[in-house]
Amino acid sequence: MSALLWIFAVFDVGALAMLAAELATRHGLRRGSLRSNGVPLLVVAIAASYVAELALLWYAVLHQVQRPPAAFVPLPLNSAIAGNKDFVVAAMIALAGLQTYLLMLLYRAQAFGRWVWIGCAALVAVSLASPVMLTADAYAYVADALLGRAAYAPPNVPFLGQFAPIDVWWNVPLPPTPYGPLWLVIAWLVTMPFGSLLAKVLAIRTLGAAAFTSLLLVMRALKMPDRIVAVTALNPGLFLEYVASAHNDLLGIVFICTAVLFVRRPAIAALLLLASGLVKLPFALFGLPILVRVRSARARIALLVFVPAAAAGLSFLAGGAGYYQALLKHTTTSPLMAVLSGAVALAALVAMVTAVFRVRRLHSVVWLTPLAASYTLSSYVAWGLPYALSRRSVLGYLLIGFPLATVLIEVKFFTVWSLFVVVPAVFAWQILAMRKRWSH
């Protein structure tokens, strides 16, 4: 994997350049320019763009250069890319860019009404019924549930019968799981009632839908503005990554966001932050910015130390050497990428820690955060959400840009022109925008 890490250099350089630009200025989001009677049309347009995106992925699956046998695909995956790759990638970027533009218009609306919830329900249903996923991660989650603690040191034995597709996508033996012990328990509880591989995968999808719904409920409980709730409820990027493709990142994010509701009870907040770290260890760090809401400075400092230490200790206690090896999978041996990834990780860590002590929240940090892992997956983009939670303009900025960001950083959609033309152009556009002082 380390041989492929150079492809993220353009993202690392762009995000660091954004950080440098923003430190010298301020950045916000304009709002309040669209009448409420334009919202129904926006909802329809967002839903249509998402359906078109899923249809395009289905087309890519059916026209893959090396299409897996149908017998091994209970729920088809876009494992490679369609033969006419440039068309698929260009169309995906265009649709994602359109979605980001539509979300920006929605953010500027003055009223929303029931159309947001009608559209949200429709997008949940479409995501649950989607005939395609971006990645094979849901298969790995089912394997985690089947193996239990043995997922940290999978046996050199293939899955049999209807579970054989797991090996088609993940090989024999499976790689050690990089997830924490709480995730293994949750995956088992969710999939245990179902006997078939397809049913188990759909159960993981349903868990993603439940996490998405919980995020909306937490936002309402936090009294987030309607515009923030709207661009969350109708966000095609969130639906594609965490419901249709069933990535588990949003579950950990929801634990962190829920902890905000209990900051006046630091012990409960600490347990929720710890739970997020026991789903994925990085969440124990990326959840720290919510501690800014803890009134006692001593309590903040104590939690700043306790949560990451406890999450790491319990994860390594459960996973042992296999868990350590799984984490090493995302490290790099390239000198260039070691420098760039180290700079990004350090900048993200400093931002997380200083945010605990009420230092300015920066828009660029939401893009640095997912890049802190040397090998970045599109589902990591949500890792910046806890950092953004305490400043609504940053949160809106992340949510609006979410569809385009996840498509641009998805490895399956990398081409020479997307990496070295489109991605730098997007970063340049954002850096130029940061020179303006937009009203908040």
* 438 domain residue, yes or no: no
Asked if residue 65 belongs to a domain, the reply is: yes
What pLDDT was estimated at residue 439?
Answer: 38
pLDDT value at residue 332 = 62
Q: Is the pLDDT of residue 228 over 70?
A: yes
* Confidence band of 70 (pLDDT split at 50, 70, 90): very low
pLDDT at residue 440, as a whole number: 39
Distances (CA, A) of 211 to 208, 215, 247, 330, 341: 5, 6, 11, 26, 30
Q: Over the stretch 141-187, which tens digit does the pLDDT of each residue have? A: 999 999 999 999 999 999 988 898 888 888 889 999 999 999 999 99
**pLDDT of amino acid 135:** 87
Residue 324 is predicted with a pLDDT of 85
Number of separate domains in the chain = 1
- Within a domain: 6: yes
One-letter amino acid at 32 equals G
CB atoms inside a 10 Å sphere around CB 199 = 14
pLDDT at 336: 79
Residue 381 DSSP symbol: G
Q: In the prediction, which pLDDT does 426 show?
A: 96
More confident residue, 405 or 64: 405
Q: Which among 143, 126, 249, 243 has a CA at the least distance from the CA of 200?
A: 143
Start-to-end CA span in the chain (Å): 42
Query: Higher model confidence: residue 356 or residue 244?
Result: 244
Q: What is the pLDDT of residue 71?
A: 43
- Output the pLDDT for position 48: 98
For 375-391, write each residue's pLDDT tens digit: 889 999 999 999 999 88
User: pTM for the complete prediction?
Assistant: 0.92
Residue 139 lies in a domain: yes
Q: Is residue 366 part of a domain?
A: yes
Task: Note whether residue 26 is domain-resident.
Answer: no
Length of the chain: 440
**Can you give 27-88 as a three-state secondary structure string?**
CCCCCCCECHHHHHHHHHHHHHHHHHHHHHHHHHHHCECCCCCHHHCCCCECCCCECCHHHH
Tell me, what's the pLDDT at 67? Answer: 57
Mean pLDDT, the chain, rounded, equals 89
| pLDDT of 73 strictly over 80 | no
| 154 Rama sector, left if φ>0, alpha if ψ -120 to 50, beta otherwise | beta
Contacts of 117 (CB under 8 A, 6+ apart): 233
pLDDT at 356 over 90: no
The percentage of residues in the chain with a pLDDT greater than 70, rounded to a whole number, is 90
- Domain residues for the domain of 221 are 2-21+32-433
Q: Pick from 171, 138, 76, 92: which is nearest to 410 by CA?
A: 92
Q: pLDDT class for 438, splitting at 50, 70, 90?
A: very low
pLDDT in tens, 21-31: 888 776 555 55
Q: Is the pLDDT of residue 225 over 50?
A: yes
Least confidently predicted of 31-45, 112-126, 258-272 = 31-45
Residues 6 or more apart whose CB falls under 8 angstroms from that of 175 comprise: 154, 326, 329
The pLDDT of residue 199 is 94
Model confidence at 114: pLDDT above 60: yes
What average pLDDT does range 338-356 have in this prediction? 89
Give domain status of residue 27, yes or no.
Answer: no
- Secondary structure of 277-318 in HEC code, one letter for each residue: HCCCCCHHHHCHHHHHHCCCHHHHHHHHHHHHHHHHHHHHHH
User: Is residue 190 a part of any domain in this protein?
Assistant: yes
